[in-house]
Amino acid sequence: MNVPLLDLKAQYATIQDDIQRIMGEVCADQSFILGPLVQKLEQVIAEFIGTPEAIGVASGSDALLLSLMEFGVQAGDEVVTVPFTFFASAGVISRLQAKPVFVDITPDTWNMNPDKVAESLTPNTKAVLPVHLFGQCADIPKIEQVVAEPKIPIIEDACQAIGASRDGVKAGAMGRTGCFSFFPSKNLGAFGDGGMITTHDSEIADRLRLLRVHGSRSEYHHHLIGANSRLDALQAGILLVKYQRLAEWTAKRQDNAATYCRLFKEANLLDRITLPVVSQGNRHVFNQFTIRTARRDELSAFLTENHIGNRVYYPVPLHLQECYRELGYRKGDFPVAEQAAQEVLSCLFTRNCPPINCICRGDDQSVF
Ligand SMILES: *Cc1c(COP(=O)(O)O)cnc(C)c1O
């Protein structure tokens, strides 16, 4: 048995004709940058998320970066984020010569701990950047209360969480901006890089549309200093095709997650494995199905030996990354994030066949 973590070839086989048709149209048109397909995708995503505005950009990282630029983040400013996430969440802050200020996560959902935010705010705090990790929303309402006075903008890193919601509000519709990635392994993945920013504020949207084209409203007249960060027509076309299947694919992920949880329970493994915790009011879209166990490395090796895809997201918390040595953080500063980095394993997340029996055969070869 061979169980890949994510089988994009199998997914492609189900949409091949539509994808080839739309790619054919773009090729016939020979118009590749922004354009009507990007506009259409922006409309579709805005409506899905529940914001009046969506702005296509070159990647999820750029969605975060342009948001920070829009809020005027610059050298010497501070932006509060979490140490347990993909590097981009903090990297974009440093790109602007601003300083990432980390706060620890909660041990159940691994999202930003709202109770730790207040102590990390200073007069230099220009934004708070919580991450909706693995497809589950952070507690934005609670974080919002903490940063209400003075009002500090919240930038949602929703790169892993398209379609997730909390109390009926979708990821990307809670903060001043919501940032999405269409990296191929996300729940809605392009055939390359792509990203989207959502917002309720039409003035912010207007400026973001300038920032993605070097601040230019009309050709060769530049109002702002921006960047080249545009979404391709080809990617937009592909994403429009894939978007039609997103609800179905998300339901499948949720189904699989429920099945895995049931099987782990039935196998009496809950004393050794902690299942994903979905907190009250949350709709989790399971970009990753992530469990924790003290014997993570053994389990990972065992799964790999048995050709079952598994990955550690993320083995090194950001405050302990070499490139952040000069921020002066130490081991022990964020114990919850550090323990998560030791114990999490994202695994078994694929089509139909949850090979739980491989883990719990009870013979000499199984880990547990
Ligand atoms: C994928 C991801 C990003 C970056 O998105 P790219 O499109 O790869 O630039 C940022 N934050 C998180 C949490 C992500 O998972």
CA 159 – ligand 1 centroid, Å? 5
Among residues 239, 258, 288, the one where a domain terminates is 239
Q: Which of 136, 171, 140, 131 is nearest to 275 (CA)?
A: 136
Q: Which residues sit opposite 212 in a β-bridge?
A: none
Task: Please state the rounded mean pLDDT for residues 307-327.
Answer: 95
User: Hey, what are 10's tokens?
Assistant: 């199998």
CA 280 – ligand 1 centroid, Å? 25
Rounded mean pLDDT of the chain?
A: 93
Q: Are residues 191 and 264 in the same domain?
A: no
Q: Are residues 157 and 301 in the same domain?
A: no
Question: How many separate domains does the chain show?
Answer: 2
Q: Residue 232's domain is classified under what CATH number?
A: 3.40.640.10
- Rounded CA-CA distance 136/12 in Å is 26
| Half-sphere exposure of residue 174: CA atoms within 13 angstroms, side-chain side | 30
Dihedral (C-alpha) 335, 336, 341, 342: value to the nearest 10 degrees? 70
Q: Which of 9, 6, 15, 5 is nearest to 243 (CA)?
A: 15
pLDDT band at 359, cuts 50/70/90?
low
Instruction: Please check whether residue 260 is in contact with residue 313, taking contact to mean a CB–CB distance below 8 angstroms.
Output: no
Q: Are residues 228 and 256 in the same domain?
A: no
Ligand 1 atom nearest 132 alpha carbon = 13
Q: CB neighbours of 284 closer than 8 A, spacing ≥ 6? A: 134, 135, 136, 164, 254, 257, 276, 278
In a domain, 3, yes or no: no
Residue 353's pLDDT is 44
Residue 356's pLDDT is 53
CA 91 – ligand 1 centroid, Å? 11
Q: Are residues 133 and 94 in the same domain?
A: yes
In a domain, 170, yes or no: yes
245-257 pLDDT, tens digit per residue, is 999 999 989 988 8
Task: Please state the rounded mean pLDDT for residues 132-140.
Answer: 98
Instruction: Please check whether residue 183 is in contact with residue 60, taking contact to mean a CB–CB distance below 8 angstroms.
Output: yes
* Site to substitute for ligand 1 among 94, 111, 133, 160, most atoms within 8 A of C-beta: 160
Task: Please state the rounded mean pLDDT for residues 157-185.
Answer: 98
Ligand 1 site, CB within 6 A:
59-61, 85-86, 88-89, 131, 157, 159-160, 181, 183, 193, 195
- Rounded CA-CA distance 255/266 in Å is 16
In a domain, 368, yes or no: no
Q: Are residues 72 and 219 in the same domain?
A: yes
161-174 pLDDT, tens digit per residue, is 999 999 999 999 99
Q: Are residues 157 and 210 in the same domain?
A: yes
Among residues 173, 204, 239, the one where a domain terminates is 239
- Rounded CA-CA distance 192/237 in Å is 12
51-88 pLDDT, tens digit per residue, is 999 999 999 999 999 999 999 999 999 999 999 999 99
* Site to substitute for ligand 1 among 61, 93, 105, most atoms within 8 A of C-beta: 61
In a domain, 12, yes or no: yes
Ligand 1 atom nearest 193 alpha carbon = 7
Whether 150 shows a pLDDT value over 90: the answer reads no
Q: Are residues 320 and 342 in the same domain?
A: yes
In a domain, 106, yes or no: no
Picking from 182-191, 235-244, 252-261, which range would have the lowest pLDDT averaged per residue? 252-261
In a domain, 364, yes or no: no
Task: Please state the rounded mean pLDDT for residues 17-26.
Answer: 98
In a domain, 107, yes or no: no
Q: CB neighbours of 168 closer than 8 A, spacing ≥ 6? A: 281
Ligand 1, atom 13, lies closest to the CA of: 86
Whether 361 shows a pLDDT value over 80: the answer reads no
286-312 pLDDT, tens digit per residue, is 999 999 999 999 989 888 888 888 999
Long-range contacts of 9-13, Cβ-Cβ distance < 8 Å, separation of 24 or more: 10/351, 11/249
Residue 302's pLDDT is 85
Q: Residue 329's domain is classified under what CATH number?
A: 3.90.1150.10
Q: Are residues 168 and 40 in the same domain?
A: yes
Ligand 1, atom 6, lies closest to the CA of: 60
CA 162 – ligand 1 centroid, Å? 12
- Rounded CA-CA distance 241/250 in Å is 15
Q: At what angle do helices 60-70 and 202-211 cross, to 10 degrees?
A: 120
Q: Are residues 176 and 232 in the same domain?
A: yes
Q: Are residues 125 and 194 in the same domain?
A: yes
Q: Are residues 233 and 277 in the same domain?
A: no
Q: Are residues 138 and 259 in the same domain?
A: no
Among residues 239, 258, 286, the one where a domain terminates is 239
In a domain, 226, yes or no: yes
- Rounded CA-CA distance 266/282 in Å is 25
CA 60 – ligand 1 centroid, Å? 5
Structural domain that includes position 273: 246-358
87-129 pLDDT, tens digit per residue, is 999 999 999 999 999 999 999 999 999 999 999 999 999 999 9
Ligand 1, atom 5, lies closest to the CA of: 60
